[in-house]
Amino acid sequence: MKVVAVPSIPSKIARALYSGADSVLNSLLDFRPELWGLPPFQDWVGKALPIEPWYLGGPVIKGFGRGSKVLGIPTANLPTAALGSQLSQHVCGIYLGWAGLSNRGVYKMVMSVGWNPFFDNAAKTVEPWLLHDFPDDFYGEELRLIVVGYIRPEANFSSLELLIERIHEDAEIAKAALDLLPFSSYQDDKFLTTPLAKQ
């Protein structure tokens, strides 16, 4: 028998406790039957896994100010306290979806959810990168997100260059997958553009 473990305790502690397992996964989203001689899952669409969509929104706030914009990867941060239990329900990882800014439009989006192991952050955050070139910042504007698919677990990298390269790959996966059903259907969802008072 082969054993694939999905611990419910923090992975730093779990590593040692589960050393007897053949593989330790962050979540079942990462289970690949074909690695174990089983037929592959059929539900991946263009390198992404459709999920029950989650809806989140809020005003764009200042993030860690680590200058991710300098890396060419600005991430529009939401106030995580307001997301509360919604955030804790979701597995850490890299996701794709649609982003709406009420006065601007709807854009493809790729984001990380978690502690960003490369930077070892103290808080679980959502870091959405809108796949569009904006002429200016939009701090304070209401941002709406519909998260529709999963790409991969969060990872650590031996260099910043490798992290940046991987994030650009994620963006290409998101751009391509968001043109496909079921992902594409959510871009017309009113949630993305409806002003708060009118909801």
Burial of 126-154, coded b for 16+ CB within 10 Å and e otherwise, reads bbbbbbeeeeeeeeeebbbbbbbbbbbbb
Annotated active-site residue 127? The verdict is yes
**Closer of 26 and 112 to ligand RBF (Cβ):** 112
Q: Does 130 bind ligand ADP (CB under 6 A)?
A: yes
Q: Does 45 bind ligand RBF (CB under 6 A)?
A: no
The two three-digit tokens of residue 49, written as one number = 């896994």
Query: Identity (one letter) of the amino acid at 68?
Result: S
Residue 1 burial by CB count (10 A; 0-12/13-18/19+): exposed, middle or buried? exposed
The residue annotated as part of the active site, out of 127, 141, 142, 161, is 127
Asked if residue 163 lies in contact with residue 116, where contact means CB atoms within 8 angstroms, the answer is no
The CA distance from 199 to 191, in Å, is 8
**Closer of 49 and 94 to ligand ADP (Cβ):** 94
Task: Mark the segment that binds ligand ADP (CB under 6 A) among 27-35, 45-53, 128-136, 184-192.
Answer: 128-136
Q: Does 145 bind ligand RBF (CB under 6 A)?
A: no
Task: Mark the segment that binds ligand ADP (CB under 6 A) among 10-18, 44-52, 55-63, 157-165.
Answer: 55-63
Active site residues: 127
Where along the sequence are the contacts to ligand RBF (CB under 6 A)? Answer: 63-64, 66, 68, 73, 75, 94, 110-112, 116-119, 127, 129, 154-155, 167, 170
